[in-house]
Structures are given as C-alpha cells and as structure tokens.
C-alpha cells in the first residue's frame, strides 16, 4: 500500500531541486537498508553459532543430568516452546521500542540460558537445565524476528532478497555449531566444568556478542524509521490505524492468514519428518556417518540456497515462490513415502525437504511483511513466529507415534496430505489474482 501510494503520487519534473532531493533521499534509504542487512547478517552468524551448539549438546546434556536417555528429547521440545513463548513479547517490545532493543534483549536472554545450562550441568540438576533450554529458545525467536527486521526498510522489489540473505547467514552458525563438541571439552577442562557444558560457553559468548552487535549496529532503528516515514507520508486527516494484536490482524487479513498458514504447515511437515529420519536410518542399519551426512545436507538445503529463493520471490512474486516451496515439499514427502526402504532416497527426500522449507519460509515471510501496514508488522510477525513454533512442536510430538503406527513411509504420506492442502490454497490464490486486489 505504501509503495502503491508512492507510485500513484505524481512527481514534479519541472523542479530539478525536488528531483535532486528525491534522489538523495533514495540513496540514503538504500545505504541505510544495506547497513541494516550487514548488521543482521553479522548477528545471525553469532546467534546461529550459539543455536547450533545448543541443538547438538542439549540432548546429550539432558540425558546426562536426568540420568536417562528417555529425557533427551526434552532439549529440543523445551527450546521450541521457549522460542514460541518469546515470539509475541519480543514483537511487542519491537513495536514499542524498536528492533534494536527487541533483538538485543532476545540475545541477552539466550546468553543467560547458556550460563544457566552450565550451572545445571555443574549441579547435575535437570529441572534447572529445562529452564535454561526455555531461555535458550529466545535465541531462536530472535533469529526468526531478525529476518523480518531486514524487511522494515526494504522496497517491494528487494524484500525477498533482503530477508533471504539474513536467513542464509544462519548457515554458517548451523554448520559450525554442532562441531564445537571437542573445543567445548577443552574449554570445560580449563574452566573446571563438566565436559558437555563446555559448548554452552560458546553459546553464551556468541549470544552476548550478538546482543552487542544489535545494540550498537541498528542505529537508527529500522522499524522506528519505517514507522516515522509512514507517519510522515500519511495524508493529513487520515488517522493512524489502532494497534491490534497479531491474531486480530490475521483474522481481518486473508493474505496474511495465507502466508502464516504456508509457513506453519511447511515447518510442521519439515520438523516431523526431519526429527524421525535419524531414527529410521539407524533402524535400517545406517551408520552414524550416514545419519550425520544426511542431516548436514538437509540443513544445507534449508539455508544455503535461500538467496536464490529470495530472488525468485522478488522476480516472480511471493505467491509463486510459495508455490515452488510447496511443490518441493510435496516432492520430498512423496519421495520419503515411496523411497523409505532406500537410504539414498531418504537422503534425497531430506534435501528436497530443506529446499522446500527454505522457498516456502522466505516467500511467505516476504508476503506477510508486505501484506500489512507498517504499524501492524511487528505484532503480526510475532504471532506468525508463535504459530510456526507451535506447529513445529506439534509436528515433532506427533511424529514419534506416527512413526510407530504408520512407519516412515506413512509419516511422509500424512505430511504430504497437509502440504497438498496448502498447495491447493496457493493455486486458488494464484487463480484469483486477476480479479482480487493485491493486499497492502
């Protein structure tokens, strides 16, 4: 809507001074957006490093402190619930005080989670570790909201690419983080703490550094700048929209609802199949090296090509980008269904699963950012991340029973049915674009 207003507003080509002022303003806006993306990329690398260490060591530490491997799955569960719980408060803080304060606060909370995890390991106190994992989940919520911060000052033509570059930067930390086991043990020996807790030293330091990058680098604040520009461009007499909660905004905005549904279903399908793949491969005789390679290739699919999907979303449109993501997800799940007996086909399915997730999340997030007013972005984005994390937690929780009852192939088919529903919705939206106005 903002962009259309600017396009519809005639420029006075008879005033060279006005044109020069407009060009200066455009260059300043472009430079500020590039600086914001650079800051977000740097902070995401640090935050991803901390998150990677958490995911790789959390399950092991949970089994050690609880005394039973049956509790190892609680690491991912508590971290996911922590991310869901932090999503809306961090978004509300961003709306009040800007992205700088919100993202820095999330990173500080995750840093405290890392320190608590070290304390829990030293005390061998499992309940304290669960609290630490919830706080560490705030780091994941911060990473998700950082991708939206990249869209605050982006134009319609570059929104997908700006967002996707920030998503891509998570690759570095996600790849390095799980490899901190041995360096963590060395650090633990120096500090005199339990070996498995050494990796959380890297987590705490990385999140503290990310908080400093956010606090010092996001000046001026991108969201506050976008809000002030929106207020300045608003015609005289047109009131500022009343603040509403994210769920209330979704209830009134079909495009935003569609975007959130695409993100949530894609995330649930990805988590449910990805979480059960190591178990399935292990049960079929695959060695740890095969399992590790498969998961690494899946993670690479999730992040490494996200700039390509951002470019596709900007050039072909966000809805077509979502369509590509849904087709890739469906291909992945059908591959898992038909090829479950072959480790090679399972690996192919997981790579496609990562690619589909990436295309869907990048395109749908860009659509969500562009389908609401600037004043509504933070709350609706917080609700989107909440729904996304809850969908992932539900998918992960149901995946285990589904694997037992239906097998790996049945799990893939069940997830494919959900994705097919969103695919049909996507095709409906594409078919109706000729007669339906593009929202916001």
pLDDT of residue 52: 65
Segment of 67-71, 173-177, 414-418 carrying the highest mean pLDDT: 414-418
Same domain as 198, residue 333 = no
Looking at the domain assignment, is residue 16 inside a domain? Answer: no
Report the CATH number at residue 290: 1.20.1250.20
Which residues lie closer than 8 Å to 431 by C-beta, 6 or more apart?
A: none
Distances in Å between the Cα of 271 and the Cα atoms of 110, 274, 333, 391 are 22, 5, 12, 9
Same domain as 47, residue 184 = yes
Distances in Å between the Cα of 344 and the Cα atoms of 201, 253, 295, 296, 362 are 37, 43, 13, 14, 27
Average pLDDT over residues 270-274: 89
Which of 208, 234, 260 represents a domain boundary (last residue)? 234
pLDDT of residue 102: 96
Looking at the domain assignment, is residue 8 inside a domain? Answer: no
Give the chain's length.
440
Higher pLDDT pick, 196 / 313: 313
**Residue 432 has which token pair?**
């109706």
> What are the backbone angles phi and psi of residue 221, rounded to the nearest 5°?
-70, 130
Closest CA relative to residue 283, chosen from 324, 236, 340: 340
Looking at the domain assignment, is residue 112 inside a domain? Answer: yes
pLDDT of residue 25: 55
Same domain as 387, residue 281 = yes
Confidence of residue 9 (pLDDT cuts 50, 70, 90): very low
Measured between alpha carbons, how far is 51 from 258 in angstroms, rounded to an integer?
29
Average pLDDT over residues 367-381: 90
Measured between alpha carbons, how far is 168 from 302 in angstroms, rounded to an integer?
9
Same domain as 255, residue 207 = no
Instruction: With residue 205 as reference, give the H or E element that holds it.
Output: helix 198-217
Looking at the domain assignment, is residue 400 inside a domain? Answer: yes
Which of 181, 213, 234 represents a domain boundary (last residue)? 234
Which tens digits make up the pLDDT trace of 216-244? 999 999 999 988 887 777 665 555 555 66
Query: CA 393 from chain center: how many Å?
Result: 14
Measured between alpha carbons, how far is 163 from 155 in angstroms, rounded to an integer?
11
Average pLDDT over residues 25-30: 65
Same domain as 423, residue 285 = yes
Can you give the pTM of this predicted structure?
Answer: 0.82
Which of 175, 202, 234 represents a domain boundary (last residue)? 234
Same domain as 178, residue 44 = yes
pLDDT of residue 398: 86
Which residues lie closer than 8 Å to 417 by C-beta, 6 or more apart?
A: none
Measured between alpha carbons, how far is 162 from 34 in angstroms, rounded to an integer?
9
Looking at the domain assignment, is residue 22 inside a domain? Answer: no
Average pLDDT over residues 162-173: 86
> Among residues of the chain, what percentage have pLDDT more than 90?
49
Average pLDDT over residues 253-260: 94
- Using CA of residue 400, residue 403, residue 408, residue 414, what is the dihedral sign? negative
154 SS3 class: coil
Measured between alpha carbons, how far is 108 from 167 in angstroms, rounded to an integer?
20
156 SS3 class: coil
Measured between alpha carbons, how far is 100 from 174 in angstroms, rounded to an integer?
23
pLDDT of residue 433: 57
Same domain as 255, residue 168 = no
- Alpha helix stretches (DSSP H) within 9-98: 16-66, 74-97
Asked if 329 and 130 touch (Cβ cutoff 8 Å), the reply is no
Same domain as 194, residue 253 = no
Which tens digits make up the pLDDT trace of 280-332? 887 777 776 777 778 778 888 888 899 999 999 999 999 999 999 999 999 99
Same domain as 360, residue 299 = yes
- The average confidence (pLDDT) of the chain is 84
Looking at the domain assignment, is residue 397 inside a domain? Answer: yes
Flag whether pLDDT at 139 surpasses 80: yes
Closest CA relative to residue 136, chosen from 93, 83, 181, 188: 83
Flag whether pLDDT at 106 surpasses 50: yes
Same domain as 359, residue 250 = yes
Counting the structural domains of the chain, the total is 2
pLDDT of residue 78: 87
Number of Cβ within 10 Å of residue 128's Cβ equals 17
pLDDT of residue 254: 93
Domain, as residue range, for 289: 245-435
Query: CA 347 from chain center: how many Å?
Result: 23
Same domain as 376, residue 290 = yes
- Lowest mean pLDDT across 30-34, 53-57, 136-140: 53-57
Asked if 161 and 58 touch (Cβ cutoff 8 Å), the reply is no
**Residue 167 has which token pair?**
């998503």
Query: CA 117 from chain center: how many Å?
Result: 23
Measured between alpha carbons, how far is 190 from 180 in angstroms, rounded to an integer?
15
Looking at the domain assignment, is residue 130 inside a domain? Answer: yes
Flag whether pLDDT at 250 surpasses 80: yes
240 SS3 class: coil
Residue identified by tokens 């891509």 is 168
pLDDT of residue 35: 93
pLDDT of residue 56: 61
pLDDT of residue 90: 95
Same domain as 255, residue 220 = no
Measured between alpha carbons, how far is 375 from 44 in angstroms, rounded to an integer?
25
- Lowest mean pLDDT across 73-82, 174-183, 429-438: 429-438
Flag whether pLDDT at 6 surpasses 50: no
Looking at the domain assignment, is residue 21 inside a domain? Answer: no
- Lowest mean pLDDT across 127-136, 162-171, 174-183: 174-183
pLDDT of residue 8: 37
């Amino acid at each position: 809507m903002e962009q259309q207003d600017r396009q519809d507003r005639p420029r006075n080509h008879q005033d060279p001074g006005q044109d020069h002022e407009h060009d200066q303003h455009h260059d300043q806006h472009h430079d500020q957006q590039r600086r914001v993306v650079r800051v977000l990329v740097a902070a995401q690398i640090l935050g991803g490093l901390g998150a990677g260490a958490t995911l790789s060591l959390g399950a092991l530490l949970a089994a050690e402190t609880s005394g039973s491997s049956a509790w190892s799955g609680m690491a991912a569960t508590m971290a996911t619930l922590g991310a869901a719980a932090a999503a809306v408060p961090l978004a509300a803080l961003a709306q009040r005080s800007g992205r700088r304060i919100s993202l820095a606060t999330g990173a500080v909370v995750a840093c405290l989670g890392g320190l608590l995890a070290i304390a829990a390991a030293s005390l061998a106190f499992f309940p304290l570790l669960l609290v630490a994992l919830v706080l560490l989940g705030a780091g994941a919520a911060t990473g998700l909201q950082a991708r939206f911060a990249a869209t605050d000052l982006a134009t319609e033509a570059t929104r997908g690419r700006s967002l996707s570059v920030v998503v891509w930067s998570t690759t570095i930390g996600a790849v390095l983080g799980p490899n901190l086991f041995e360096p963590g043990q060395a650090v633990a020996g120096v500090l005199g703490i339990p070996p498995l807790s050494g990796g959380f030293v890297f987590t705490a330091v990385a999140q503290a550094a990310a908080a400093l990058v956010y606090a010092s680098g996001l000046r001026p604040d991108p969201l506050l700048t976008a809000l002030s520009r929106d207020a300045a461009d608003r015609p005289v007499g047109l009131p500022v929209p009343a603040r509403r909660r994210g769920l209330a905004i979704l209830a009134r905005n079909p495009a935003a609802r569609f975007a959130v549904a695409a993100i949530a279903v894609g995330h649930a399908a990805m988590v449910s199949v990805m979480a059960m793949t190591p178990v399935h491969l292990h049960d079929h005789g695959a060695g740890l090296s095969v399992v590790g390679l498969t998961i690494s290739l899946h993670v690479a699919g999730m992040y490494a090509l996200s700039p390509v999907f951002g470019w596709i979303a900007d050039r072909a449109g966000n809805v077509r980008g979502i369509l590509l993501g849904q087709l890739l997800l469906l291909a992945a799940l059908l591959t898992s269904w038909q090829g479950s007996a072959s480790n090679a086909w399972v690996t192919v399915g997981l790579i496609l699963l990562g690619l589909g997730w990436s295309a869907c999340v990048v395109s749908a997030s860009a659509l969500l950012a562009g389908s609401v007013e600037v004043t509504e972005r933070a709350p609706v984005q917080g609700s989107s991340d909440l729904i996304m994390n809850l969908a992932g937690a539900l998918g992960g929780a149901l995946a285990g029973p589904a694997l037992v009852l239906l097998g790996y192939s049945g799990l893939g088919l069940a997830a494919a049915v959900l994705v097919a529903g969103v695919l049909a919705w996507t095709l409906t939206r594409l078919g109706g674009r000729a007669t339906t106005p593009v929202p916001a």
